[in-house]
Amino acid sequence: MQTNTEINTASKRFEMPNVKKPKWWIYHILVGGFAVLMLYPVIWLLMSSFKPSDTIFVTAQSLIPDPFILSNFAQGWEGIGGNSFGVFIKNTVVLVIITMIGQVISSAVIAFGFARLSFFGKSFWFALMMVTLMLPYEVVMIPQYIIFSKLGWLDSIKPIAVPAYFGHPFFIFLLVQFIRTIPRELDEAATIDGCGTFKIFYKIILPLIRPALATVSIFSFYWTWDNLLGPVLYLNSPDKYTVSMALNMFLSNETVSNWGAMFAMSIVTLIPVFVIFFLFQRHVVEGISTSGLKG
Amino acid sequence: MSARALKQNMKGYAFISPFIIGFLAFTFIPIVASLYFSFTQYNLFASPTWIGLENYKKMFTEDPRYWQSLKVTLIYVFAGVPLRLGFALFIAMVLNTASRAVGLYRTLFYLPSLIGGSVAVAIMWRNIFGDEGIINLLLAFFSIPDVRWFGDPTAALWMLIFLSVWQFGSSMLIFLAGLKGIPMTYYEAASVDGANFWQKFTKITLPMLSPVILFNTIMQTIAAFMTFVPAFIISKGTGGPLDGTLLYSLYLFIQGFEFFNMGYASAMAWIMLIIVGILTAIIFATSKFWVHYESEGGK
């Protein structure tokens, strides 16, 4: 530590005369301006959703809706085929909750096995799991579809929800990393007190990995909420559509040019994503920084 | 095996059994099945008929759309991934300062990545690049002639690449975490020795970040190869104009679920698996020349 301080002061002594005071305001104008530019499309989408459909592209250069209308939301909310957008939101929320419960519980159980128990063939299974992490979904998509169609699961959420109960490699990996940081002394102490393996998992580990479980839940929500391929493959009846599927249908039905309604519903589907992010920002950022979860 | 060891093993397997069952049911059996289907003609309604290597032969010799989809995907991957990672690293370095506003900027730059996978964003992208969209207004402002993003296959592909680069945020977060992990003393020592910015970047930052760069490159390459949603939404499921946005996954989807050529689509999936495997192997093989793993205690 002392050498560090010495180098520190040394470097300061050497550099001080040359270094100009950093121009922070230039930095903030450049970086902040660039941030606004990056987000401009989203802001444009939001503002356009308050414009009448026929003026959206005529007044594309202006962000201020004039006249400001809310009827796009009412129109979009009417939905497709007699199902209001509320139905699609309800469907998606149900799917998200069922999937999330499955992924969180199963991934935690599996991660505990990998992180804390020793058994024959453990490294083999762990390596296998890491390989499946890199496996393109397309390779299993066709046979999975065939299997689920033989099971009579088409046009239901089962093909999307059931696999969630068998763990998700990314989440298992993240939780294994997290459990490894918990001192083993805790387990040992619990064993001495007469706790069995399951009790150690349930009473000791599970409460301690709550932050990681939160991260897993959030990403589970995002991925299910955004999932389009699953619903496109497996959901046929409009009354079962999720929001991403409904938006997709909006686009394909895009009669004449009801942009306003489509933009309005796009905004509606983005709101939960933003809200969850701002509530749990720390978990999201840590999840990505520490394990490379794709955001 | 003693009774105790047996019990230990049983416990272990009990905990990871969901993974093993799921792996067998949803990964292993489907992969083997897809290999079998790739040698058959199968439309889901009649039973599969064995046709040997016919699907592969057709794919490579008689299907120009297949080559088109491969070409488009490789351009998408090899232009998109380096641009996205380069951009992510650049912004991460810009944000790696002591300023208090960095947290806010980090959030703002991450947002596109957060929402990027959604249908809503693909719809948005479709519209800002439309003939009357704001991108063309912006080009007009700089007196650049309009680009017909939906009329020209190359322009349409670049529209997809831009969308992928726009979502650099998650890579940026990983790079930021990596940059924070580099001890300041390295840079200070280098300054003492008179190193300039470029020398510090190439001799300290890049080597120290190289494991993170490797990880990012592999994961992003695989993910880019599998891209489906934006191409599906922006081209309304057609891969148009003139197959300019016919990414591999989209063509596979069209073959499988529009034409119900399950056998052909399975063959495509297997070639995709092989290509992704080769790409990953190449990246790993080159990594020993550029990835620097720090041993315990630094240096």
B-chain CB neighbours of A109 within 8 Å are 15, 18
Q: Is the pLDDT of residue B44 over 90?
A: no
| Range with the poorest average pLDDT among A166-180, B3-17, B99-113, B238-252 | B99-113
Residue A21 is predicted with a pLDDT of 56
Using alpha carbons, list the distances in angstroms from residue A161 to A107, A135, A171.
Answer: 14, 19, 16
- Please state the rounded mean pLDDT for residues A145-152: 90
Per-residue tokens: B79: 């232009």
pLDDT in tens, B127-156: 888 777 778 777 877 877 777 777 888 888
CB A268 within 8 A of CB A76: yes
Q: Across the interface, do B124 and A197 touch by the CB < 8 Å criterion?
A: no
B-chain CB neighbours of A113 within 8 Å are 12-16
Residue among A7, A122, A270 whose CB faces B120 most closely: A270
Highest mean pLDDT among A221-225, A277-281, B120-124 belongs to: A221-225
- Whether A42 and chain B come into contact, CB under 8 Å, resolves to yes
By C-alpha distance, the chain B residue nearest A48 is: B124
Q: Is the pLDDT of residue A256 over 80?
A: no
For chain A, domains (ranges, CATH) are 20-69 (no CATH), 85-291 (1.10.3720.10)
- Whether A288 and chain B come into contact, CB under 8 Å, resolves to yes
Q: Across the interface, do A273 and B118 touch by the CB < 8 Å criterion?
A: yes
The better pLDDT of the pair B137, B273 is held by: B273
Identity (one letter) of the amino acid at B182? Answer: I
Domain boundaries defined on chain B: 1-26, 63-120+149-290
Residue among B114, B188, B226 whose CB faces A8 most closely: B188
Residue B299 is predicted with a pLDDT of 36
**Residues whose CB falls within 8 Å of the CB of residue B189, separated by 6 or more in sequence, listed in order:** A7, A11
Closest CA relative to residue A247, chosen from B120, B124, B122: B120
B-chain CB neighbours of A106 within 8 Å are 18-19, 22
Q: Across the interface, do B118 and A226 touch by the CB < 8 Å criterion?
A: yes
CB B28 within 8 A of CB A137: no
- Please state the rounded mean pLDDT for residues B36-40: 92
From B262's Cα to the closest Cα of chain A, the distance in A is 7
What single DSSP character describes residue A55? G
SS (HEC) of B78-135: HHHHHHHHHHHHHHHHHHCCCCCCHHHHHHHHHHHHHHCCCHHHHHHHHHHCCCCCHH
pLDDT in tens, A209-246: 988 898 899 989 989 998 999 999 999 888 899 999 98
Residue B127 is predicted with a pLDDT of 83
pLDDT in tens, B211-270: 888 888 888 898 899 899 889 988 887 887 888 889 999 999 999 999 999 999 999 999
Residue A92 is predicted with a pLDDT of 94
Q: Which of B285-296 are b and which e, b meaning 16 or more Cβ less than 10 Å from the residue's Cβ?
A: eebeeebeeeee
Identity (one letter) of the amino acid at A190? Answer: A
Give CA–CA dist A116/B123, Å, rounded: 46
Q: pTM here? A: 0.86
CB A239 within 8 A of CB A87: yes
The beta strand positions in chain A, using DSSP E, are: none
The dihedral sign for the CA sequence A76, A80, A82, A84 = negative
> Which CATH homologous superfamily contains domain B63-120+149-290?
MetI-like (1.10.3720.10)
pLDDT in tens, B74-96: 999 999 999 999 999 999 988 88
Q: How many beta carbons lie within 10 A of that of residue B265, not counting itself?
A: 27
The better pLDDT of the pair A2, B282 is held by: B282
